[in-house]
């Protein structure tokens, strides 16, 4: 699946980004919606699905589960599900799940549509332990029998899943998606309290409605799902990626640039836009749901504090990129990471570029410096790779970013978009 492990980006810093750009379809919305195609037979047509290695990985997983998937250059992903519902081909193997944690999203749909599932336990990853206990407890409340054997979650249902009252102890995005999908085909009504309100969950709800599901409370923290006998195939267009949009705004801001970013999911970006404005960037956006955002960053940025939280709070997926901006801001800032316990892997790399950041498990103290300096650095995860790329764009000299395959998991043609705005970036193997 990963064929670019040895590739690195060479970034020559100091260019001001200018021009116009656009945002691709959302990775974090695409993966659960692709998983939802397990729930209904027929030919599903999903558009605006970004061309990313994580999407390829998910397509491979669905193929393993007996579906056929094609993803065209025009970003239309077609899934044909002719599975007869028998408990065969319900095995999500370790080698796929260990590379892509989102694979756990097939658990709920498999139990709901085939009554059985064997999915590798995802295990931890560089940003934290990332357990799935809340998914499993909720599925048990819905009537599934779950056991863990030899590193696999094995689940089965006698008949159909049934509706239940689920009250999540913590806000879990993937957990909410898994239970939401499972509940669409369960008998009776499922209420999910303390549900994730992330825009990608809203997008999944709309895709499920398009397939014939009955869901109310969409966008709130209480979702009520009344199970239906069967769903029909989906024809749905995925929302634009709010994290890609936020990352682009940070990249422009870091270089003191002037860019209009089109196809932004503006209504989901308020927290990020307000934070960048507080730092001194001028940002102009209209009130539309999806539209263009104009960012102009002429002045030295000012230090601000950042706390990550579930939506509508600051996304944990924007923490690393904002930290790069704070590293070159005037003053001291504190970044508090409230979602993951180990999401500061970019800190030592930014410090190698001249940043002054001191971090413990969940809090980083940043003293802004005038400039960063190019250095060889290593990307450790998807958003860390974006933060290092932004650092390279505004640093003096040349930055070599190793392990850049992380970036390709979640940003479609990102370096090409930056190059089109004037960035000097080359890819080497
Ligand atoms: C999380 C982020 C999501 C981000 C994604 C990738 C939140 C709430 N979630 O989603 O915005 O896009 O990472 O960076 O911001 N947890 C448990 N037990 C479970 C499930 C989760 O304890 O069964 C804990 C996790 O360890 C974590 C928190 O709950 O501390 C949120 O996890 P969850 O939302 O499920 O993670 P992702 O879906 O990966």
How much is the pLDDT for 393?
A: 98
- Choose one of 130, 153, 336 to mutate for the ligand 1 pocket test, by most ligand atoms within 8 angstroms of C-beta: 130
Query: Looking at ligand 1, which atom is closest to the CA of residue 134?
Result: 23
Q: Whose CA is nearest to atom 7 of ligand 1?
A: 310
Question: Can you tell me the mean pLDDT for 189-212?
Answer: 98
Question: Can you tell me the mean pLDDT for 29-47?
Answer: 98
Angle, CA 117 vertex, CA 116 and CA 119 arms, to 5°: 170
297 CB burial (10 A radius; 0-12, 13-18, 19+): buried
Dihedral (Cα; 220, 224, 227, 228), 10-degree rounding: -60
Q: Is the CB of 31 under 6 A from ligand 1?
A: no
The Cα 143–Cα 182 span in angstroms is: 11
Which residue, among 233, 195, 227, 199, has the nearest Cα to 213 in the 3D structure? 227
Q: Is the CB of 313 under 6 A from ligand 1?
A: no
How much is the pLDDT for 3?
A: 59
Query: Looking at ligand 1, which atom is closest to the CA of residue 309?
Result: 15
Please confirm, yes or no, whether 264 is among the known catalytic residues.
no
The Cα 23–Cα 21 span in angstroms is: 7
Helix (H) or strand (E) holding 184: helix 173-184
Q: Is the CB of 172 under 6 A from ligand 1?
A: yes
User: Which pair of structure tokens corresponds to residue 103?
Assistant: 């694979």
Confidence at 426, pLDDT banded by 50, 70, 90? very high
pLDDT tens-digit map of 97-142: 988 889 999 999 999 999 999 999 985 566 666 789 999 999 999 9
For residues 30-60, one letter each, b for 16 or more C-beta atoms within 10 angstroms of the residue's C-beta and e for the rest, the string is bbbbbbbbbbbbeebebebbbbbbbbbbbbb
The Cα 391–Cα 385 span in angstroms is: 10
The Cα 372–Cα 397 span in angstroms is: 9
Question: Can you tell me the mean pLDDT for 177-193?
Answer: 98
Residues 6+ apart with CB under 8 A from 67: 37, 38, 79, 80, 81, 82, 83
Q: Is the CB of 310 under 6 A from ligand 1?
A: yes
Indicate the pTM of the whole model.
Answer: 0.97
Residues 6+ apart with CB under 8 A from 163: 142, 183, 186, 187, 188, 189, 190, 191, 225, 226, 227
Angle, CA 385 vertex, CA 55 and CA 374 arms, to 5°: 150
How much is the pLDDT for 99?
A: 86
Angle between helix 199-210 and helix 173-184 axes, rounded to 10 deg: 10
Q: What is the mean pLDDT of the chain?
A: 95
How much is the pLDDT for 127?
A: 62
Q: Is the CB of 170 under 6 A from ligand 1?
A: yes
């Amino acid at each position: 699946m990963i064929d670019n492990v040895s590739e690195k980006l060479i970034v020559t810093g100091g260019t001001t980004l200018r021009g116009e750009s656009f945002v691709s379809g959302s990775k974090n919305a695409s993966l659960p919606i692709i998983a939802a195609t397990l729930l209904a037979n027929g030919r599903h047509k999903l558009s605006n699905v970004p061309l990313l290695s994580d999407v390829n990985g998910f397509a491979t997983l669905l193929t393993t589960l007996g579906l056929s998937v094609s993803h065209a250059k025009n970003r239309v992903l077609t899934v044909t599900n002719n599975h007869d519902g028998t408990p065969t081909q319900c095995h999500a193997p370790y080698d796929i799940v260990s590379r892509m944690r989102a694979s756990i999203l097939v658990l709920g749909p498999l139990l709901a549509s085939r009554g059985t599932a064997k999915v590798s336990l995802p295990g931890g990853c560089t940003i934290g332990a990332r357990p799935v206990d809340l998914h499993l407890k909720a599925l048990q409340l819905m009537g599934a029998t779950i056991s863990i054997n030899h590193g696999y979650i094995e689940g089965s249902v006698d008949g159909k899943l049934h509706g239940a009252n689920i009250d999540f102890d913590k806000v879990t995005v993937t957990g909410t998606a898994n239970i939401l999908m499972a509940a669409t085909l369960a008998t009776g009504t499922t209420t999910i309290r303390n549900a994730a309100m992330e825009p990608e969950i809203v997008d999944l709800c709309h895709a499920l409605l398009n397939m014939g599901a009955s869901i109310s409370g969409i966008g709130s923290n209480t979702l009520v799902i009344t199970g239906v006998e069967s769903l029909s195939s989906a024809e749905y267009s995925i929302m634009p990626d709010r994290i890609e949009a936020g990352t682009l705004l940070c990249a422009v801001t870091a270089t003191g640039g002037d860019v209009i970013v089109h196809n932004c999911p503006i209504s989901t970006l308020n927290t990020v836009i307000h934070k960048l404005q507080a730092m001194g960037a001028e940002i102009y956006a209209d009130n539309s749901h999806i539209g263009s955002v104009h960012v102009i960053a002429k002045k030295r940025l000012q230090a601000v504090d950042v706390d990550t939280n579930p939506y509508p709070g600051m996304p944990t997926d924007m923490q690393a990129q904002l930290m790069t901006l704070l590293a070159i801001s005037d003053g001291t800032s504190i970044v508090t990471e409230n979602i993951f316990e180990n999401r500061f892997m970019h800190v030592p790399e930014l410090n190698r570029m001249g940043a002054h950041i001191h971090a413990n498990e969940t809090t980083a103290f940043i003293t802004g410096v005038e400039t960063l300096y190019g250095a060889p650095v290593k990307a450790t995860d998807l958003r860390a790779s974006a933060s290092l790329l932004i650092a390279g764009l505004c640093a003096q000299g040349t930055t070599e970013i190793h392990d850049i395959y992380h970036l390709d998991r979640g940003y479609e043609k990102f370096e090409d978009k930056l190059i089109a705005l004037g960035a000097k970036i080359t890819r080497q193997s």
